Chains A and B, each alone.
Chain A
Amino acid sequence: MGGYEEEVRQVYLVSFRRLVGQLYGVTGDLAEAEDVVQEAFVRAVARPRQFSEVADHEAWLRTVALNLARNRFRRRRVFDQLFRAGRLAPTPEAAPEMTLDRLDLVAALRGLPYQVRAALVLYHLVDLSIDEVAMTLGARPNTVKSWLARGRAALAKELSESEAIPHA
Chain B
Amino acid sequence: MLEQFFRDMADTAQDAARQPEFAVVRRRGGRRRVRRRVGAAALAFVAFSGLASVAVWGTGSATDSFTTSASPSQPPLIDGARILNLESADGQHIYMSVERCVTCGKDLVATDDGGKTWRSLGDVDATRTDVTVVGPEVLLAYSRTRALADTVKKPDQIVEGGGTPVVSPLVSVDGGRNWKDVTVDGDSVAKVSAGMRAIDCDSLPSKNSCGIYAVDPATGTVRQTPSQPPLDRVDLIETPATAGIWVRGVDPHTDRPATAVSHDGGATWNVGHFDAEPTNAKGVQPDVATTDGMLAFAMFIDDGAVRVYRSTDSGETWTRTNNGTNMPDPLSGPSSFVTFDGTHVVTAIDGENFTYLASADGREYAPLNIPALPALGHSPEAVTKTTFLFNGLDVIYTSPDGRVWTPRPLR
Which A residues form the contact surface with B (CB < 8 A)?
Answer: 1, 5, 9, 12-13, 16-18, 20-22, 24-25, 30, 33-34, 38, 41-48, 50, 53-56, 60, 63-64, 67, 70-71, 73-77, 96-98, 101-102, 105-106, 111-116, 120-121, 123-125, 127, 129-132, 134-135, 137-143, 145-146, 148-150, 152-156, 164-168
User: A102, B5: Cβ atoms under 8 Å?
Assistant: yes
User: B25, A41: Cβ atoms under 8 Å?
Assistant: yes
Residues 1 to 56 of chain B near chain A (Cβ within 8 Å): 1-3, 5-20, 22, 24-26, 28-30, 32-33, 36
- Separation in Å of the B129 CB from the closest CB of chain A? 8
Residues of B within 8 A of A5 (CB): 26
Residues 282 to 309 of chain B near chain A (Cβ within 8 Å): 282-285, 287, 301-305
CA distance A132 to B82 in the complex (A): 11
User: B283, A150: Cβ atoms under 8 Å?
Assistant: yes
Residues of A within 8 A of B304 (CB): 70-71, 73-77, 114
User: B84, A143: Cβ atoms under 8 Å?
Assistant: no
Q: Is B168 an interface position by the 8 A CB rule? A: no
Q: Take A21-B11, A42-B25, A71-B330 as given contacts and tell me if A138 and B378 are in contact as well, using a CB distance cutoff of 8 Å.
A: yes
User: A124, B30: Cβ atoms under 8 Å?
Assistant: no
Main secondary structure of the interface of B (DSSP, over half): mixed
Partner of A97, one of B12, B233, B284, B352: B12
Partner of B282, one of A101, A102, A106, A112: A112
CA distance A13 to B21 in the complex (A): 9
User: B10, A24: Cβ atoms under 8 Å?
Assistant: yes
Closest to A109 in B: B9
Contact with A along B53-73 (1 / 0, CB 8 A): 000000000000000000011
Q: Take A21-B10, A132-B84 as given contacts and tell me if A46 and B33 are in contact as well, using a CB distance cutoff of 8 Å.
A: yes
User: B283, A17: Cβ atoms under 8 Å?
Assistant: no
**Can you sample 27 A-B contacts with CB below 8 Å?**
A12-B25, A13-B22, A20-B14, A20-B17, A21-B14, A41-B25, A42-B28, A43-B29, A46-B32, A46-B36, A64-B73, A75-B304, A77-B303, A77-B304, A111-B282, A112-B283, A115-B334, A124-B2, A125-B7, A129-B130, A131-B97, A132-B84, A135-B391, A138-B378, A140-B381, A146-B202, A152-B157
- Separation in Å of the B148 CB from the closest CB of chain A? 6
- Separation in Å of the B234 CB from the closest CB of chain A? 10
Partner of B74, one of A41, A60, A132: A60
User: B32, A42: Cβ atoms under 8 Å?
Assistant: yes
Partner of B12, one of A102, A140, A142: A102
CA distance A60 to B75 in the complex (A): 9
User: A138, B335: Cβ atoms under 8 Å?
Assistant: yes
- Separation in Å of the A55 CB from the closest CB of chain B? 4
Residues of B within 8 A of A54 (CB): 74, 76-77
Closest to B234 in A: A146
CA distance A22 to B258 in the complex (A): 33
User: B5, A105: Cβ atoms under 8 Å?
Assistant: yes
Please tell me the number of chain B residues within 8 Å of chain A, measured between CB atoms: 85
User: B349, A71: Cβ atoms under 8 Å?
Assistant: yes
Closest to B15 in A: A96
- Separation in Å of the A15 CB from the closest CB of chain B? 10
Instruction: State which of B114-122, B158-166, B175-183, B313-321 sits at the interface with chain A.
Output: B158-166
User: A25, B25: Cβ atoms under 8 Å?
Assistant: no
Main secondary structure of the interface of A (DSSP, over half): helix
Residues of B within 8 A of A21 (CB): 9-14, 17
Residues of B within 8 A of A154 (CB): 282-283
Closest to B14 in A: A21
Q: Ordered nearest first, which 3 A-B pairs have the shortest CB separation?
A: A138-B333, A45-B29, A168-B162
Partner of B80, one of A41, A45, A55: A55
User: B13, A20: Cβ atoms under 8 Å?
Assistant: yes
Partner of B157, one of A46, A102, A153: A153
User: A139, B334: Cβ atoms under 8 Å?
Assistant: yes
CA distance A21 to B6 in the complex (A): 9
Residues of B within 8 A of A63 (CB): 74, 377
Partner of B77, one of A16, A56, A143: A56
CA distance A165 to B16 in the complex (A): 24
Closest to B160 in A: A167
CA distance A150 to B284 in the complex (A): 9
User: B13, A125: Cβ atoms under 8 Å?
Assistant: no
User: A102, B8: Cβ atoms under 8 Å?
Assistant: yes
- Separation in Å of the A135 CB from the closest CB of chain B? 6
- Separation in Å of the A99 CB from the closest CB of chain B? 9
Partner of B17, one of A30, A115, A116, A146: A30
CA distance A64 to B72 in the complex (A): 12
User: A96, B13: Cβ atoms under 8 Å?
Assistant: yes
- Separation in Å of the B298 CB from the closest CB of chain A? 13
